[in-house]
Amino acid sequence: MTKTNRFEYKQELNDRLERAVVSFLNYSGGGEVIIGVDSNGVACGVDDPDGTQLKIVDRIRNNIRPHI
C-alpha cells in the first residue's frame, strides 16, 4: 500500500482512533483508517476481526460528538 495523506495505518486498535477519524471528517477529501497494517503499509492483520470491527463502531458512536 502506498502511504498518502488519505490513509492512516494502525497496526492495532489504539487510543488514537477517534483523533484519526475526526481528522478525516475535517479533511475535504476524507480518508481511511486502516487497522492491521503497519506504518510501512505491510499487512499484519488483527487477532479478532469481528470483535475489532464492533469495538471501532462502538467507539466512534460513543466518543465522537456530534454524532457522525
Q: Give the model's pLDDT for residue 1.
A: 57
pTM of the model: 0.82
Query: Is cis: bond before 66, omega within 30 of 0?
Result: yes
- Say which residue the cell 470491527 belongs to: 53
Residue 62 corresponds to which amino acid?
A: N
Closest by CA to 55, choosing from 38, 25, 35, is 35
**Residue 67 and residue 61 in contact, taking contact as beta carbons nearer than 8 Å:** yes
User: Looking at residue 9, what DSSP letter applies?
Assistant: E
Task: Dump pLDDT digits (tens) for 8-40.
Answer: 999 999 999 999 999 999 988 899 999 999 988
